[in-house]
């Protein structure tokens, strides 16, 4: 974190300790990443116990861009990057829309973005209940969805999006925790967030949100490392003028655009690295 970003967060936290705005969040439940409150042991467990309820209580959405190689002399590279939201829909609100946009698709129309960064594969699991979506949360290290794991395993990089509270992150209200085992990816993301004025905290300082478990799909890539982002509730709320399941995709704000742009710029720079030259 550069000195300005770190000083901004620490100053705000010191102020909060005196005036109390963040103290009311200290009683929030444990970070979801621990899995302590999970009802289901895995995605397979959930799919079995909620058999027939896909499209009613939960949904899975994904896109794998077609690759065809029938040529002997030509070479086609492995998929570079997949974007994931393991707890989308009503579970960790806003991560579905971010997943689509960072992958290069307008969250409402699915039209490809024209910002020059291209499109990426994506996978998401979404809670569709009117309430009680927290019960559909499966902690990342226990995700065993066969499509999600196969997409991660056939990609060089994964960017995984999650939601947390500011109390869990130990940050100012609007901030993101940058984690995952890909140190270069984290460095690029933090630099891009600095450039657009988004406060961040390094995942090494928040173990429950660090995204460093090798079993987490974010790190089950061809390179065995990826990038994970934990966005606070307040940051996600600032991204939409209509923060409802029906309204979010069509009501994104400049905060959403800045965040998405920063992530897409970081991915583009990541993909230019020497470790990305496979085939």
- Residue 21 is predicted with a pLDDT of 29
- Residue 15 is predicted with a pLDDT of 33
8 A C-beta contact, residue 185 and residue 270 = yes
- Residue 37 is predicted with a pLDDT of 86
Dihedral sign from CA coordinates of 79, 85, 86, 88: negative
- ∠ at Cα 209 (45, 183), nearest 5°? 115
What is the β-pairing status of strands 227-232 and 121-127?
A: unpaired
* Residue from 264, 260, 261, 255 nearest 97 by CA: 260
- Residue 6 is predicted with a pLDDT of 44
Average pLDDT on 43-54 reads 98
CA distance 218 to 148: 10
**Percentage of residues in the chain with pLDDT exceeding 70?**
87
pLDDT of 227-267, one tens digit each?
Answer: 999 999 999 999 999 999 999 999 999 999 999 999 999 99
pLDDT of 138-193, one tens digit each?
Answer: 999 999 999 999 999 999 999 999 999 999 999 999 999 999 999 999 999 999 99
- Residue 36 is predicted with a pLDDT of 75
Tokens of 275: 């470790």
Domain range summary for the chain, segments of one domain joined by +: 3-64+78-272
* Residue from 38, 55, 31 nearest 136 by CA: 38
Confidence of residue 34 (pLDDT cuts 50, 70, 90): low
CA distance 230 to 177: 5
CATH architecture under which domain 3-64+78-272 falls: 3-Layer(aba) Sandwich (3.40)
- Residue 33 is predicted with a pLDDT of 55
Is the pLDDT confidence value at 18 over 60?
no
CA distance 155 to 277: 12
CA distance 258 to 272: 22
Is the pLDDT confidence value at 8 over 70?
no
Predicted TM-score (pTM) of this structure: 0.88
Is the pLDDT confidence value at 5 over 90?
no
């Amino acid at each position: 974190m550069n000195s300005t970003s770190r000083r901004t967060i620490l100053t705000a936290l010191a102020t909060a300790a005196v005036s109390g705005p963040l103290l009311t969040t200290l009683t929030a439940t444990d970070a979801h990443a621990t899995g302590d409150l999970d009802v289901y042991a895995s995605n397979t467990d959930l799919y079995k116990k909620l058999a027939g309820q896909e499209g009613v209580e939960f949904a899975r959405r994904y896109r794998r861009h077609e690759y065809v190689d029938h040529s002997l002399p030509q070479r086609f590279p492995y998929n570079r990057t997949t974007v994931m939201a393991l707890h989308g829909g009503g579970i960790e609100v806003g991560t579905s829309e971010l997943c689509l946009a960072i992958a290069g698709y307008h969250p409402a129309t699915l039209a490809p973005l024209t910002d020059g960064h291209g499109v990426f594969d994506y996978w998401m699991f979404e809670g569709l209940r009117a309430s009680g979506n927290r019960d559909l949360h499966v902690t990342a290290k226990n995700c065993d969805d066969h499509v999600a794991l196969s997409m991660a395993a056939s990609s060089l990089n994964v960017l995984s999006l999650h939601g947390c509270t500011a109390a869990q992150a130990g940050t100012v209200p609007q901030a993101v925790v940058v984690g995952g085992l890909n140190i270069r990816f984290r460095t690029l993301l933090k630099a891009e967030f600095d450039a657009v004025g988004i406060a961040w905290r390094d995942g090494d300082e928040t173990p429950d949100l660090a995204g460093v478990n090798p079993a987490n799909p974010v790190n089950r890539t061809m390179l065995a490392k990826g990038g994970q982002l934990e966005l606070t509730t307040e940051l996600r709320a600032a991204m939409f003028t209509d923060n409802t399941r029906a309204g979010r995709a069509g009501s994104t704000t400049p905060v959403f655009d800045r965040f998405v742009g920063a992530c897409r710029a970081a991915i583009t720079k990541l993909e230019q690295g020497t470790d990305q030259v496979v085939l």
